[in-house]
Amino acid sequence: MDANFNTRNTRSTEQMNHEGIRRWFSSMNDPNEIKSKIRNLLIEEKNSVKHFLSLPP
């Protein structure tokens, strides 16, 4: 097995997230669709935070 296998073929989660986001946006041509997706993501995030804050300590 190649000693550099792990370092060469392993990408950080952050890198994979950035690549996924880039692919996700590049597949959309309509600016309104992009705005809608971003709005929905922000709403999801806001709801997650609200839920987290409502949990007992």
Cβ atoms < 10 Å from Cβ of 34:
13
Answering whether pTM is above 0.85, one says no
CA–CA gap between residue 39 and residue 29 (Å, rounded)? 16
Residues of the domain holding 33: 12-54
| Total of domains in the chain | 1
- Residue 39 falls inside a structural domain: yes
- Residue 1 falls inside a structural domain: no
Per-residue pLDDT at 13 exceeds 60: yes
- Residue 2 falls inside a structural domain: no
- Residue 6 falls inside a structural domain: no
Average pLDDT value for residue range 7-31: 72
Residue-wise pLDDT for 32-50, tens only, equals 888 888 899 999 999 999 9
CA–CA gap between residue 55 and residue 13 (Å, rounded)? 28
